């Protein structure tokens, strides 16, 4: 279904992701966060470009990504949002917890576009001219709602594009915290059991040697160069605290 893996002329791997790569990326991001996507693959032991890693994480590995069939409600919501927002897939995705922009975009083109067209045709037949002005009023109200976002609202990165957007973050953190009820697994990698991508068995197997075998080379690099020094200097602390201190802060705010 996906392009077969291959290496480009720069030695960067492209195409389908292997389970091992998924595990490496997942483990790294869950441990350290994504402090810099461009540099991340080096430290995570991946021969991918940062862009590819980011995409894989956002669309597939993120713990809060909901997979599987769309419900009727989701379909209708997407159609409605698409009427309002157009092809602003990331904005639409922000209103559908657990769904990614890429997934919604695909779903739209394969399922919903046709249906929306049919709906439009049938509604055009049904809609009485006097109804149009009402629709316009509603539409204007929606616009003004959108415009009424406070000037001091968080930046675009948080509002639109954060993997922990307001609607998804609560479930994400609650999932994390629910795991904290049980004896915490080592190194804060506690999301895998719920993740359909890798079975707990395969991950246990993987995690057993994660910090030793596959990473030996990378760990050496890791220890000798940037991350630890960055950590010591506090340069990448946001992502470390992301899973520890910031969760406490998050709960305090809640």
The binding site for DNA (CB under 7 A) comprises: 1-4, 8, 13-17, 34-38, 48, 50-52, 54-56, 59-60, 87-91, 101-103, 105-107, 109-111, 155-157, 160-162
CA distance 23 to 195: 11
Name the DSSP class of 112. I
> Comparing C-alpha atoms, which of 158, 205, 197 is closest to residue 67?
197
Least distance (Å) between residue 2 CB and DNA? 4
Least distance (Å) between residue 95 CB and DNA? 12
Closest CB to DNA among residues 20, 185? 20
Helix axis angle, 113-126 to 72-85, nearest 10°: 70
Least distance (Å) between residue 61 CB and DNA? 9
Least distance (Å) between residue 40 CB and DNA? 7
Least distance (Å) between residue 209 CB and DNA? 23
Closest CB to DNA among residues 162, 170? 162
Closest CB to DNA among residues 130, 148? 148
Closest CB to DNA among residues 37, 211? 37
Q: Give the H or E element holding residue 7.
A: strand 6-7
CA–CA distances in Å: residue 133 to residues 82, 112, 128, 205: 20, 26, 10, 63
Cα dihedral across residues 154, 157, 161, 166: positive or negative: negative
Closest CB to DNA among residues 14, 179? 14
């Amino acid at each position: 279904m996906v392009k077969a893996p291959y290496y480009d002329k720069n030695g960067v791997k492209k195409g389908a992701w292997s389970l091992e790569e998924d595990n490496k990326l997942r483990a790294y991001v869950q441990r350290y966060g994504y402090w810099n996507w461009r540099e991340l693959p080096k430290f995570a032991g991946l021969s991918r470009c940062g862009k590819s890693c980011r995409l894989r994480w956002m669309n597939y590995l993120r713990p809060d990504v909901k997979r599987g069939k769309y419900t009727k409600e989701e379909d209708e919501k997407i159609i409605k949002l698409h009427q309002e927002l157009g092809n602003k897939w990331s904005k639409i995705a922000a209103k559908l917890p657990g769904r990614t922009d890429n997934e919604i975009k695909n779903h739209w083109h394969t399922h919903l576009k046709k249906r929306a067209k049919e709906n439009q045709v049938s509604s055009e037949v049904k809609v009485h001219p006097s109804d149009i002005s009402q629709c316009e009023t509603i539409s204007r109200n929606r616009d003004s709602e959108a415009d009424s976002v406070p000037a001091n609202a968080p930046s675009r990165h948080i509002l639109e594009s954060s993997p922990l957007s307001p609607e998804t973050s609560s479930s994400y953190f609650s999932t994390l915290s629910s795991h904290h009820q049980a004896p915490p697994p080592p190194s804060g990698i506690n999301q895998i059991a719920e993740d359909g991508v890798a079975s707990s068995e395969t991950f246990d197997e993987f995690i057993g040697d994660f910090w030793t075998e596959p990473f030996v080379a990378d760990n050496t690099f890791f220890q000798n160069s940037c991350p630890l020094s960055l950590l010591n200097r506090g340069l990448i602390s946001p992502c470390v605290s992301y899973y520890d201190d910031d969760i406490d802060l998050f709960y305090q705010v809640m």
